[in-house]
Structure 1
């Protein structure tokens, strides 16, 4: 079967398309024929630096990808036989950029309702956004500033915050102001230079990882705390915290339900064929975020 594999730390262009053995069905597993996978920053970071993230995913060679959507084509004798032929979202840290994936953990396999397409499921990036929302919920800040508000994580978080009563200040680049307005017409976005001087306690949520940007934002507050999902070590910012989302199966079920009911809007830019995975990663990394980039068989 075809698989996109990392065999070195030479970056995106070091990826290879290889033919590897199809995984064998076991009594406790299912085999998923993959359809659609998201392009993940975790992958392109690990392709250059095995210590780039907290995940222990950089033992080589490795098939890239962590999640994706597809159809169950084989079911082991100890698994629910009704899974056969069902469309699913699968979480598989051993890799998803392959024609077939063997899934052994029932908690990492999610049935998809008819109202949720493979593309919408694959693009799902709400886990990190929910982690940030939970952090906001327990914060006593008067103001919330969000960097990278036009990103998939940023826009998903803002959807989850639709009932938030505190003032939210989305921060984007000047090139992304129009796109943000199209996605969130009820909110006003700011560039770092446009952000007004804020009084009271301000929580700055960082999804970008640019220290100079955070320093600029801190200077526009009277009392700031900075929480990042990107910067792992304190760069000298006030009340700095790094947070990392933990996998929660119930959260994923909730997100899929919200996609089905329309409460959560999928954010999709474009899809590339699996043979253009390098091009897809370059596109996602090097262009302004306009939704999730996908790769499909």
Structure 2
């Protein structure tokens, strides 16, 4: 299991500097964001020179690119906004293929038109799931064409809120290209350590065989997000359970400052 970090944890818009910072903080791999190459996270185009610069920086730093962020609101109430997001996702997927990056991470979306990570009461309406599923079908066609996997993450504010939802969507889509990104801190909002451990354990068991990438973020008992090791998530238990299912993929941390990164790298490497 390789320990990594979101590239956006570190400031800068030059891939060489960002990936050197990832390496120097003690991480072997990264989930890259095109903003770290001076582009929009979801650009309309990725120039060939940008691809070359990212590839050269990865080679020079020795940092593996295990995922590329491709999030847009797949359940936005405005179809035109979804269409634009899909167009940009196609650009990201093509870039991932050129970089030999195996996974593009998604956001299953929300009916909140202002924030793709914010809850909306209409998320529970069957039409929200239907719109997201139609979007996912189109996204998977792109993924199949370019030989890239897509990762969905159970997230309390989004349409796919739970491990059960994620497995359901994979079943409905019927594509081996659709995988799961499992972040223990996104599986609940408020919990004490015992309850959090039980929720995470059930999710790991439910998603076994479908997880392509694990995230490492924490929560305080009152619901606020926290840096790994400071909240209620039992990461030793989470990692042990992932290993028991046969998972040997990347464990990528985020939601931390650049200054905290070396300490988190040491903490996670001590567990894996």
Q: TM-score range by the shorter chain?
A: under 0.3
* TM-score (norm: length of structure 1): 0.26
Larger Rg, first or second structure (1 or 2): 1
| Structure holding more strand per residue | 1
Would you tell me which structure has more helix in proportion to its own residues? 2
